[in-house]
Amino acid sequence: MIRPSTLATAPPSAAVSSWTRRLLAVAPPPLSPPDVIRILYDEELPTPRLLAILQRDLPLGLAVLLEAQQRLRQGQVESLAHAVGVLGLRGLWRVVERLAAHPFDPRQPAHRLYAEAVATSRLAAHLAAQLAPAGTPETRQRLMWEMQVQTMAEWRLPLAAPDVAQRMAARIAAGERPTHVERDLLGCPLHALNAALAQHFGFVEPDDPRATVWLQARRLAQAARHAWIDAHPPPLPDDVGRWLYRPSTLRSLLHWLAQEAMRSWYSPRTRLLCDALSAHRHWRVGDVVAATRRAALAASHEMLTRGVVVAPAARLFWAPWVRPRRGPGADATAAAAPASAGVHTGGPAAARHPTPGSTARPLIERFAADCQRGRHPDVGAFFRAFQHALDEGLGLRRCALFLKTTQAAQLVCYMAHGFGGSIVPRQTTVALQGEHVLARLFAQPGAFLLAEPARVAHLRTRLPASLQRALLPSGAMWGTVQVRQRAVGVLWADTGSADAPVDTTQYAGFKRLMHHFGPGLTRLMQLRRAAFTATRPPDEH
């Protein structure tokens, strides 16, 4: 697990050398509570229990590994069990006593940042266990430790320079790119300090290509475009494949995914990293996402600082985090974020709903991307995302979905939002016989119709009697829900206000959303049907 150190092939920069000395001067405190630390002094403590404590407490386990490597005259320490065998109980107790002299204090902001960084490292290790190529348990355990020790600088920095660490965290939260902040405050990127510490302790050779955890944004975007979304994985171009399968790329993807996920599991960068991992592992994107969820649960289950750091799995319930933008475009970008988007109710039509390129386009593209990648976990989440794109993006406050029943030639309202009693789910039905608007739309897969205010009076007479009262003077729009060129239903949308007429901008956005609505809904209905079949008890004979 630990390799003897050798001389570096190139001298580090002055900033790297200076910060490495500062980081080595601190002793990371163990995260286990005092009662668990006391258990380690029990001579009768079973070895599996001892190893479990060391495995769970990253700083303590790492200190044991490093002490054992210094004692070992030849070869390298392969595991925690090996390290404990080299040290013996008295040697282990000396390590524990040295670290416990400076206990973890969650009241200190620096210690809270330290605990956050350790939790991120642990999440990276569990991501490696879930997403790395299959191997023996020993190989997987070794990979998990290597992932953790290659981020040592990140959890030592708050202890060595609390003010610098707090300024870094604040600037990154304000929207600055981490690499820019690191170079400004440290004079070098953090990945260079991670590599320097890993080399100092002998975890990697100085010329080991795995030592550098770093990603090129351009290459990352290229790899993400080859994620497995459709029936078969897309072929990788030679240059993308060469970059993806470098020794350091997988570790870098997992490292950055852990960091980004601790900020938001739903950010564009998190999705980009999952797509790139899909291309690397030749897994479907949905399988990659499922693996990250398993990693989050495993990392959360063994956390020692739950009252200090929010567990990775708990962050799955956080609302999507939108990175603030700095500079001249900050206001426009902030207006485009879902968390701050709004639809104005007064003024001319152009001000009542967003124009393309402000709120509408990001929300539409996000809905389309989530449908293509299967990111909606269930039908309820799918409808909420669709309604959010209609409402906040296009100013279409009402919508109703009519689906064809299997046993009768009629449409039944499956979902309605904003219509009150004029259209009621599972109660409002529309016969498909006749020449009314919905029947004619259903007969033409891919058809759309815009009822502008000037046409409302005429089109109201072409609606079934049960729906005529629901059509507002401001107009409406309808679109056919289709799957594989076959119509399965019709969707109605409007502004919900007689004083807010529909227009062609909303109509264009509506058609773009509907292009992805049918396939996305079908996938989720199939999953629901499969889950019901799997849980239904077998028939008794």
User: What domains can you pick out in the chain, each with its CATH number?
Assistant: 30-103 (no CATH), 106-317 (no CATH), 359-533 (3.30.450.40)
SS3 content of the chain, % helix, strand, coil (to 5): 55, 10, 40
How confident is the model at residue 12, as a pLDDT? Answer: 61
The pLDDT assigned to 3 comes to 45
Name the residue with higher pLDDT: 353 or 275.
275
What per-residue confidence (pLDDT) applies to 346? Answer: 33
Lowest-confidence region among 62-71, 118-127, 234-243, 311-320: 311-320
First to last CA, the chain: 58
Check residue 472 and give its pLDDT: 95
pLDDT given for residue 205 in this prediction: 66
pLDDT for res 321:
54
Average pLDDT score over the chain:
81
CA separation for the pair 477, 506 (Å, rounded)? 9
- Which of the pair, 31 or 11, is modelled with greater confidence? 31
Lowest model confidence (mean pLDDT) among 55-59, 170-174, 252-256, 275-279: 170-174
The three state secondary structure string of 471-524 is CCCCCEEEEEEEECCEEEEEEEEECCCCCCCCCHHHHHHHHHHHHHHHHHHHHH
Closest among 433, 395, 399, 394 to 416, alpha carbons compared:
399
432: alpha, beta or left, given left = phi > 0 and alpha = psi -120 to 50?
alpha
Residue 207 is predicted with a pLDDT of 60
Residue 219's contacts (CB-CB under 8 Å, 6 or more residues apart) are 240, 243
Q: Is the pLDDT of residue 309 over 60?
A: yes
pLDDT tens, position by position, 335-383? 333 332 332 333 333 333 334 334 577 888 888 888 877 787 778 888 8
Per-residue pLDDT of 522-534, as tens digits, reads 787 777 666 555 4
Average pLDDT over residues 73-97: 86
Instruction: Summarize the confidence of residues 473-481 as an average pLDDT.
Output: 95
Residue among 204, 166, 190 at smallest CA distance from 20: 190
- Range in 245-254, 319-328, 443-452 with the lowest mean pLDDT: 319-328
